[in-house]
Amino acid sequence: MVLLDKPSGLTSFQALSSIKRALGTGRVGHTGTLDRFASGLLIVMCGRCTRLSSLAESLDKDYLARVRFGTGTDTLDPEGAVVAEGSVPGRAALEAALPLFLGELRQAPPAYSAVHVGGRRAHELARSGRPVEPAERPVRITRLDLISWDPPDAVLAVACSRGTYVRSLARDIAARLGTCAHVAELRRTRVGYFRVEEAVAPDAFEPARDLWNPRVLFERCPPLRMLEVDADRAGKLAAGTLPSDAWFPGPAPTDGLYGAFRAGSELVALVERERGRWRCRAVFAGGAL
């Protein structure tokens, strides 16, 4: 696992190239796309660890967004064509509007986005001259603060659930204020319990220093949990044997998703206990790295 600080100007896919070269494998994937104009934290899974990607994809995220009011673009970012112009709201009006976007919302992703519409990416349809309006979906905003106001720009701090588009949030805030806007700059500062200050730039990546053991994902991300297994039971898990409550002294483990680790750091399997019954989600023969 790698914590990568993606610079603006690269796609999320392009930002992985240095890791692929250093590790000598193409089995590398990020767990949440950042637009090309955006920068910040990508959690990257490598090798067998890519099978844990869905665990990181579900984590909440923090952003700093510079929203430029009075100018709307077709992509809702600085790379698009200007398609609308409007007024610049006052600070008081903006501050009054922000609390209306806290909590559970329904949000339509941008026309230029990676969501699928009829089996195609929305941005592919838009660039082929057939823009669509993706269906609304539920998102959650837990923080929306005005950090600075330098008209026409507002810097907003956003904490949100998986699947939230900050570009759409800026569009909807502007619409509430009777104008238009786009996100001029965007930086992801947190994913779950991981912060961008812990991340490495793509051109500075060194495997010996910058590869994280997957154990840290289970340590930092409740409700994920860990089980310690000895060599004998690690071999049984690798062979497809399901764990049982009898393996563990004391009270039986509670229901949930567990990483089974041998010798404290080798991830052997991802297992789940539900209603007292165990099942295996993934086996990492030879370890996850």
35 included as an active-site residue:
yes
- Residue pair 201/7 in contact (Cβ under 8 Å)? The answer is yes
Which residue in the list 35, 77, 172, 210 is annotated as catalytic? 35
CA terminus-to-terminus distance, the chain? 8
| Number of CB atoms found within 10 A of residue 258's CB | 21
| Number of CB atoms found within 10 A of residue 98's CB | 16
Q: Which residues are bridge partners to 107 per DSSP?
A: 137
Catalytic residues: 35
